[in-house]
Each structure stands twice: as C-alpha cells, then as structure tokens.
Amino acid sequence: MNARAKYVSTQVLVLLLSVSVLFAQETVALAPAPMQTKPVFTQQQLDQMLAPVALYPDSLLSQILMASTYPLEIVEASRWSKANPNLRGDDAVKAAEQNGWDPSVTSLVAFPQVLTMMDSNLSWTERLGDAFLAQQPQVMETVQNLRQRAYAAGNLRSNDQVRVDQQGQTIVIEPPNPQVVYVPYYDPRVVYGPWWWPEYPPVYWGPWPGYYVPFGFGAGFAWGVGITVGAGFFFGAFDWPHRHIRVIPVNNFYYRNNVVRVWEHDPVHRLGVPYRGVELRQRFGRMSAAPEARRDFRGRRVRQAWPVRRMLSSGLMPLRASVADRMCVITAHAVMPVPRVMRVPRVMPQVRLAPPMVALGPSMAGAENTSRKRETSRRIWCACRMK
C-alpha cells in the first residue's frame, strides 16, 4: 500500500512539473518581443545631408554639428553677422559674446559664410542637428565613409589650406596652422565620384563670393581667404574611436572649460524648437537643464529668448510651429517692447487663452490691445503656413 501511494505521489509530482514547464514556455512564447527603435534618418539620408560638410576641418565640423542642434540661435547669429559685416574671426566672437548664445553658435560668427549657409538652408540645418542628437555614432561613421570615398577618388589630399592625415581607417582633416582656418567649398556631386544613391542626391549650394579654384588640387574644390583665430579658439574635438565629440580644456573669451568630457546638448538654447523622434522628445522635450545653465539663461539670455517664450506662453504662436514659421512671427513682432524683468518658466507652458475681459477702466484697453495682437499673430502664422 505504501509503495502504491509513493508511486501515485511521484506521478502527480511529475505531472505538476510538466504543466509548470509547459506554462512557462507558453508565457515566453506569448511575451511581446522588445520594440526596435527605428532610426530617425536612414543611411541614404545621412549621406545626402552630410555630403557638403564632411570634408571640412575637424575642428570646424565639430562646431557646426553642435551648433546645428540650436537652429533658432543659428538664425539670430546669422542676422547679427550680416548686421556687422566688418567683424571677422576673434573680433566678431568677442563682440557676439554678449548675446548669450550657446558657445558652439557663438564660435561660428567668426565664419560668416558658414552661418549664411546654415541660415539659408534652415531645413537642412534642423535635420542635421536632429540627426546628430539621435544618431551621433552613425553620423560620425558617415563622415568617415564620405572622406574615404573622396580620398579614393583622388580629390582629398593635403595642400596649403588643409592637412589630410590617414590614421588607419580614420581620416583626420586639420588646418596646417591652427590659428588660420580655411573653409573649403566643394561640389559634392564631383568630389566623391559617381553618387551611389540616385534617389537621394547630395545637398548642394553654389560657391561663396571671393572663392577661387586652385591649380593642381582635387576636382570640385574652391578656397577663400583664411580666417585668423586665437590659440585655443575651438573647444570641440572628435573622438573618432568612440564616435562622439569631446569638449577639450580651453580658456578663451567666450568659453571656459578645464575638464575633458563628452559634449552634451543643452535644451535651454533650443528655445522650444520641437525635437524629431519620440526618443529625443523624451530626453530633451521638457527642457531639463542644469541649475547653473538656467541661472545663466535668466541673466544674459533672457532678452534674446523673450520674443519666442512670450509668444508661446501667451498663445501668439502654436507650440509645434516650425523654425521658419517661428522666425516669421518673431520678425513681424520685432517692434514689440521688451520688458526689463521677466520670469522664465522651467517647463514650456501650454497655450492658454486670454482671460475674460471683465474689468473696467484703463485695464480694459490693455486687454483689448493684447487680444488684437494675439489675433494678428495667429493670422501672420497662418499666412506663413500658406506660403
């Protein structure tokens, strides 16, 4: 009897174990597979947008990539540069420091042709910045692939303006004299050889005034006058093995840093421009910035940011307006007075309607005036969208 009971209990135990194993297998099979994050840009699109700048000197290209993540400040810096055409190099950067832009944007006022190019092709600039934020390693890998193609085609070689150094699988481009930087112009339809994405032709713009084609250099290149900068002018450097940009120690008139670290995007200088892709919106969408960055923003940057933030918080501009639409509305309201004191909210406020006008007396006129301005701004924004 005891043997039979032992046999039955053993069989029941085996049955329970079998059921538990089967249930576990079904649970694993029914569990949803982890979602694959879709790249913001394809390789075809990255080749297309990086083709016109991939052959720039490393120091200049790193500043361009960082600055492209702040498209509204690029527009402001370009307009400032056009209003001060006699300032170049260090003199321009010293004068522009008071505007409170991100250091990467401030550094580009030394190169007005670069700012003009980024401002004139604002959609390309915004896409370049979003690609760099979302796919930084792939962006740097694309730069190297494009350089390898130009080198294989025989159009990327050292000369008096740049030094091309092949370091294993990495091509480094530097100015022979660190204090004199030449900004190259080249035709991406020529320098890389036959283009490999017929449906995605490279971004292209015409040469800048004053550029000439040197004899004996690679096909498709043109050069202008060198721009003089001070020692330690550039604070960004490519870390090619790890595929990111490092902020290097520098102590100049517009940027001070004593520690080597990986560059980080500052959402405060984004000025509310929407991010492309869910991941970027989750990372930066709420303008999470360090307390010291917010204090600096409230101090020096507040007068520059006031038109954008006032229009967003008061309903004069939709929150999802594009960079071009925002600049259109800002330009239309450029004559609006700027208050002396302003509190910048930590989180981007939602659009709210004007309060009901129930007061009598002088305040009624102010409320009506605000309402008219709000309606005018909405009409201007709609007109921009219709163009």
Q: Mean pLDDT, consecutive 10-residue segments, the chain of 387 residues? A: 60 53 44 58 97 96 95 95 90 90 93 94 95 96 97 92 92 93 94 95 91 74 90 86 86 72 90 88 67 43 44 49 53 40 42 41 48 52 48
- H or E, element range at 250: strand 250-251
What's the pLDDT score for residue 237?
87
CA distance 207 to 222: 8
Closest by CA to 74, choosing from 120, 33, 29, 34, is: 120
Q: Are 119 and 74 in contact (CB under 8 A)?
A: yes
What's the pLDDT score for residue 219?
75
What's the pLDDT score for residue 278?
87
Identify the three-state secondary structure at position 270.
Answer: helix
Integer angstrom CA distances of residue 202 from 114, 188, 233, 316: 18, 6, 31, 37
CA distance 185 to 74: 20
Tokens for 310?
């006032």
